[in-house]
C-alpha cells in the first residue's frame, strides 16, 4: 500500500466550479500535512499547510481527519490558472512523503 | 533571488558517465533535501542534510549515488556510472530546522527548479 494515495484524475471542471480532492495516508505517526501545487515541468510549490482544525486561504480550504487518515482540498470558484497537479503530502520522521498528485484542468 | 537554486537545469549524458548536480538552499535554512521525480509520480525522497550532517538516506539511493554538503551551505549530488533508469528530475528543497515563527511548520520545504537528467 502506498503511503500517500490520491486519485490521479484528471478532474475536468469549468471555470467557476467548486472541486474537491481527497487523499489518504497510511502512517498514523504523521504529524504535518501539506498541499503542494505543481505546474507541468516545474517544481512543486507549497500551496498550504493542513491543520487539524481545518484552514482556509482565499478560495482554498484544507481539512484533516486524523481518525480516518485523510486530507482534503476544496477549491472554490475555479480559475483557469488553477490548472495544475495538486500533491498531497504527509510527513515521515523528518521528511515529506508525496502522493502521485491529482491533475486539475479548468476550462473556459 | 533568494529561493533555492539548482545547477545545471538540464543534463544529457551517455550511459556509464558520471554526473554531478549542485543545489544552493535558501540561506537561512538548516535542512537540505534531495528528491527524484519521474513522469506521473510525486517526488521521492533520496536523502537529507541537517547543516553538514547527512541524517537519512532512502533505499532508493544506491551505491552509485553520493551526496555531500561539506560546509553546511550548498550540496552536491553525484551519480556514478549512470543508467537509463536514472533519467528523472532531481529536485532539491530546503527548510528550517525549527519553526521560525508561530504558524510556520519547520516541515515546510521549498523546492528549487530541479535538474532534468536524461541518460541516453
- With H, G, I as helix, E, B as strand and everything else as coil, classify residue B84: helix
Is the dihedral angle over the CA atoms B113, B92, B117, A104 positive or is it negative? negative
Give the three-state DSSP class for A60: strand
Whether A85 and A104 have beta carbons less than 8 Å apart is answered as yes
The pLDDT value recorded for residue B71 is 86
- Among the partner residues B56, B111, B112, nearest to A94 by beta-carbon distance: B56
Q: Which grid coordinates belong to A43?
A: 517544481
- pLDDT by position in tens, chain A (length 108): 678 999 999 999 999 999 999 999 998 888 889 999 999 989 999 999 898 888 899 999 999 999 999 999 999 999 999 999 999 999 876 678 999 999 999 999
How do residues B8-44 score in pLDDT, each as one tens digit? 999 999 999 999 999 999 988 889 999 999 999 999 9
Is the Cβ of A90 closer than 8 Å to some Cβ of chain B? Answer: no
Local structure of B86: helix, strand or coil: helix
pLDDT of residue A69: 93
Of B56, B105, B113, the CB nearest to A32: B105
In the block, cell 508561530 appears at B102
Amino acid at each position: 500500500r502506498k503511503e500517500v494515495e490520491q486519485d490521479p484524475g484528471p478532474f475536468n471542471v469549468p471555470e467557476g466550479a467548486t472541486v474537491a480532492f481527497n487523499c489518504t495516508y497510511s502512517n498514523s505517526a504523521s504529524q504535518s500535512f501539506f498541499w503542494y501545487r505543481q505546474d507541468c515541468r516545474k517544481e512543486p510549490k507549497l500551496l498550504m499547510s493542513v491543520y487539524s482544525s481545518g484552514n482556509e486561504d482565499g478560495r482554498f480550504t484544507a481539512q484533516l481527519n486524523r481518525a480516518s487518515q485523510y486530507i482534503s482540498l476544496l477549491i472554490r470558484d475555479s480559475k483557469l490558472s488553477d490548472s495544475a497537479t495538486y500533491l498531497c503530502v504527509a510527513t515521515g520522521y523528518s521528511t515529506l512523503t508525496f502522493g502521485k498528485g491529482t491533475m486539475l484542468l479548468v476550462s473556459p | 533571488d533568494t529561493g533555492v537554486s539548482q545547477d545545471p537545469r538540464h543534463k544529457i549524458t551517455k550511459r556509464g558517465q558520471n554526473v554531478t548536480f549542485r543545489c544552493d538552499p535558501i540561506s537561512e535554512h538548516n535542512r537540505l533535501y534531495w528528491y527524484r521525480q519521474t513522469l506521473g509520480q510525486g517526488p521521492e525522497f533520496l536523502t537529507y542534510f541537517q547543516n553538514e550532517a547527512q541524517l537519512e538516506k532512502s533505499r532508493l539511493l544506491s551505491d552509485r549515488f553520493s551526496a555531500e554538503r561539506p560546509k553546511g551551505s550548498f550540496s552536491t549530488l553525484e551519480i556514478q556510472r549512470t543508467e537509463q533508469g536514472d533519467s528523472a528530475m532531481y529536485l532539491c528543497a530546503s527548510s528550517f530546522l525549527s519553526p521560525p515563527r508561530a504558524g510556520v511548520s519547520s516541515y515546510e520545504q521549498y523546492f528549487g527548479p530541479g535538474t532534468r537528467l536524461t541518460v541516453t
